[in-house]
């Protein structure tokens, strides 16, 4: 299908050369982005999704989308909030799509289970899993706002830029999220105690 006369072959060679240059530039840009932000974005996505495979997939998708539209980013100093915005929107889409499937992490063997002493809950149940389960009761945007503020340490101004809303909207959402998270966490912690 690509066979033809000398003119066609020259055009093909020129096309390939241009494509190779574009490819090299593209990969260089991707490498720079990932080196600078890969770990942070992965950490953020993992906090939101709580699943390594999903976190890998969404992280990769974040950088692929960023690469496609990075020419549209006019201000270099907005790069962080822009990337977090892409990642956060992908996390929200993912959370909304997936069916509810909860589990507690299983050890490889029964002997690996953490020791429980008296009224102390195992660390894995008390902290990480209860936190994640309580976060899941929030709307995805409320959970995102809370995680960006508490776990990631972003300021209200930065969160507003990431979420594309006003600062007053961020404060309102944080207040709502804290109240809902607090209620859910306390309720779940009581439920865990009662099933022991």
Burial of 13 (0-12, 13-18, 19+ CB in 10 A): exposed
Interactions with another protein, residue window 15-44 (CB under 8 A): 15-16, 19, 22-23, 26-27, 30-31, 34, 38-39, 42-44
Number of residues that bind another protein (CB under 8 A): 73
| HSE (side-chain half, CA atoms, 13 Å) at 167 | 5
CA distances 8 to 3, 12, 14, Å, are 8, 6, 10
Question: ∠26-27-29 over CA atoms, to 5°?
Answer: 65
For the segment 52-81, give every residue that binds another protein (CB under 8 A). 52-53, 55-57, 59-60, 63-64, 67
Is the Cβ of residue 75 or residue 105 nearer to another protein in the bound state? 105
Taking CB under 8 A as the rule, does residue 115 contact another protein?
yes
Q: Under rule CB under 8 A, which residues in 147-176 are in contact with another protein?
A: 147, 149-151, 156, 171-172, 174-175
Q: Is 95 in the site for another protein (CB under 8 A)?
A: no
């Amino acid at each position: 299908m690509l066979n033809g006369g000398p003119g066609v072959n020259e055009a093909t060679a020129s096309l390939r050369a241009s494509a190779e240059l574009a490819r090299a530039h593209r990969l260089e840009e991707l490498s720079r982005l990932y080196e600078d932000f890969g770990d942070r974005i992965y950490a953020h996505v993992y906090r939101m999704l709580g699943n390594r495979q999903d976190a890998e997939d969404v992280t990769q998708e974040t950088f692929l989308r960023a690469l496609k539209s990075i020419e549209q980013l006019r201000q270099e100093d907005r790069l962080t909030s822009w990337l977090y915005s892409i990642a956060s929107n992908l996390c929200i889409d993912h959370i909304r799509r997936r069916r509810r499937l909860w589990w507690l992490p299983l050890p490889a063997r029964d002997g690996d289970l953490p020791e429980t002493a008296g009224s102390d809950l195992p660390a894995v149940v008390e902290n990480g899993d209860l936190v994640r389960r309580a976060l899941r009761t929030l709307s995805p945007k409320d959970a995102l706002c809370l995680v960006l503020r508490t776990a990631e340490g972003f300021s209200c101004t930065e969160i507003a830029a990431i979420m594309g809303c006003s600062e007053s909207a961020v404060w309102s959402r944080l207040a709502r999220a804290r109240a809902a998270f607090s209620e859910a966490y306390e309720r779940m912690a009581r439920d865990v105690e009662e099933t022991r």
